[in-house]
């Protein structure tokens, strides 16, 4: 499904894995593995339109016209904690990508993001940036991370989340209308505690077994 600057990647493999991920009986080990696999599959789709350049390659038999990636290099920026789980899957596809980290947690009362850490590649302004976080709920964390990236000069930014709520999408698009959001699923709404419904619960707690 394609909305304005929102793509829901409804590949059957992703949807199958997402069904297991949502299940409350899925254990920590499987939950982590599924997050990694879904992230890799989403990134595969997200990179479908990367620019290519023609090159000549000498095979053992002849010269072959081939194509390889051109354009800007990639940076993955994980929103801690939960976004960290998405990094390894994508690095399987793009092993030379640089990785940045932005530490944010959601204040449970106000639901506003609180920043506690940031370390970004020095040349972030020159890179295509994928911001990674499994959950886009109120959108406060993603919007704050993108704001910080823009302050550091990043110009080409996309947001990759596994599940998003309409509320979060609206907030990110209001503040950052040019940023494309890629989801594996757009759920119905937020509950009174700011959790995505039906969602998958608290991603960080399910990844790290902290609850």
Residues near ligand PRP (CB under 6 A): 79-82, 104-106, 111, 113, 133-142, 168, 194, 202-204
Nearer to ligand URA, 83 or 121 (CB): 83
Contact 95, 122 (CB under 8 A): no
Nearer to ligand URA, 100 or 199 (CB): 199
195 token code pair: 């959790």
Q: How many CB atoms lie within 10 A of CB 79?
A: 26
H/E stretch holding 130 reads strand 128-132
Task: For residue 31, give the nearest of 160, 201, 180 by alpha carbon.
Answer: 201
What is d(CA 207, CA 211) in angstroms, rounded to the nearest whole number? Answer: 10
> 120 to 139, contacts with ligand URA by CB under 6 A?
135, 137
Q: Does 80 bind ligand URA (CB under 6 A)?
A: no
81 binds, among ligand URA, ligand PRP, none (CB under 5 to 8 A by kind): ligand PRP
Q: Does 202 bind ligand URA (CB under 6 A)?
A: yes
Nearer to ligand URA, 135 or 149 (CB): 135
What is d(CA 209, CA 211) in angstroms, rounded to the nearest whole number? Answer: 6
- Strands (E) in 52-126, as ranges, are 52-58, 63-69, 74-80, 98-106, 113-119
39 token code pair: 């992230």
- Closest separation between CB of residue 49 and ligand PRP, Å? 27
Q: Which residues are catalytic?
A: 106, 110, 202, 205
Nearer to ligand PRP, 120 or 136 (CB): 136
Which positions lie near ligand URA, rule CB under 6 A? 135, 137, 194-196, 199, 202-204
């Amino acid at each position: 499904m394609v909305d304005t600057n929102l793509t829901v990647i409804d590949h059957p493999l992703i949807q199958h894995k997402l069904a297991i991920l949502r299940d409350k009986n899925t254990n920590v080990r499987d939950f982590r593995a599924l997050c990694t696999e879904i992230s890799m599959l989403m990134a595969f789709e997200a990179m479908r339109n990367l620019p290519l350049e023609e090159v000549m390659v000498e095979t053992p038999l002849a010269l072959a016209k081939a194509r390889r990636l051109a354009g800007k290099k990639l940076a993955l920026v994980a929103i801690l904690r939960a976004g960290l789980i998405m990094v390894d899957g994508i690095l399987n596809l793009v092993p030379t990508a640089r990785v940045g980290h932005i530490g944010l947690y959601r204040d449970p009362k106000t639901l506003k993001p609180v920043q506690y850490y940031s370390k970004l590649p020095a040349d972030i302004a020159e890179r295509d940036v994928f911001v990674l976080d499994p959950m886009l709920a109120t959108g406060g964390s993603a919007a704050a991370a993108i704001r910080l990236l823009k302050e550091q000069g990043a110009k080409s930014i996309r947001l990759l989340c596994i599940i998003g709520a309409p509320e979060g999408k609206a907030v990110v698009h209001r503040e950052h209308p040019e940023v494309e959001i890629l989801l594996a699923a757009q759920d119905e709404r937020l509950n009174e505690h700011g959790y995505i419904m039906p969602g998958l619960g608290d991603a960080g707690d399910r990844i790290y077994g902290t609850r």
